[in-house]
């Protein structure tokens, strides 16, 4: 069975409560339960941290033995050379996802340190962005 992990960065623990007009009103745990029930042929692990170094540590930990990483580095996408380097350093393919269309928002969200080293990028489909990323491993 293929092993995937969803890694969420800062403030994504507040999904469901945080700016629901942008990010929707479903909590990530509710969404994750639905996804796990739907894609039973994958093992889908989940990790969230608000701390940049913990996200890097997790990428190192999974990056040589998982089949895929689905990464929403949230605000660190736009600032973190360290996370970009970690994505480049590991062997497991990384799909970058964003819930909102970052290109229709502020200019600082148009830059990504993850994209150059990602296998693919899925942006702007709400929580469905994660599901589309999972489907890419089918
Ligand atoms: C986000 C977009 C980022 O710009 C923002 O900082 C987030 C969430 C998204 O999924 O739409 O926290 O990554």
Give the pLDDT score at 135. Answer: 97
Which of 62, 61, 49, 54 shows the shortest CA–CA distance to 4? Answer: 62
For the whole model, what pTM was predicted? 0.97
Quick: pLDDT tens for 6-60.
999 999 999 988 899 888 888 999 999 999 999 998 999 999 999 999 999 999 9
Give the pLDDT score at 128. Answer: 97
Average pLDDT over residues 117-134: 97
Task: At 13, give phi and psi (nearest 5°).
Answer: -65, -15
98 is catalytic: yes
**pLDDT reading at 131 higher than 90:** yes
Q: How many domains does the chain have?
A: 1
> What is the CATH classification number for the domain harbouring 115?
3.40.50.9100
Give the pLDDT score at 25. Answer: 87
110 is catalytic: no
For CA atoms 61, 62, 63, 64, give the dihedral sign.
positive
Q: Which of 98, 122, 129 to mutate to test the pocket of ligand 1 (most atoms within 8 A of CB)?
A: 98
Domain span holding position 57: 2-135
Quick: pLDDT tens for 69-119.
999 999 999 999 999 999 999 999 999 999 999 999 999 999 999 999 999
């Amino acid at each position: 069975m293929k092993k995937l992990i969803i890694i969420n960065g800062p403030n994504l623990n507040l999904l469901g409560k945080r700016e629901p007009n942008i990010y929707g009103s479903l909590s990530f745990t509710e969404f994750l339960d639905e996804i796990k029930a739907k894609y039973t042929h994958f093992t889908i692990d989940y990790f969230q941290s608000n701390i940049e170094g913990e996200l890097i540590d997790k990428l190192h930990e999974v990056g040589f033995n998982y089949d895929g990483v689905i990464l929403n580095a949230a605000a660190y996408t736009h600032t973190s050379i360290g996370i970009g380097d970690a994505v480049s350093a590991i062997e497991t393919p990384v799909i970058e996802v964003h819930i909102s269309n970052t290109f229709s928002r502020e200019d600082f969200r148009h830059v990504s340190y993850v994209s150059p080293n990602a296998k693919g990028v899925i942006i702007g489909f709400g929580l469905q962005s994660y599901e589309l990323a999972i489907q890419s491993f089918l």
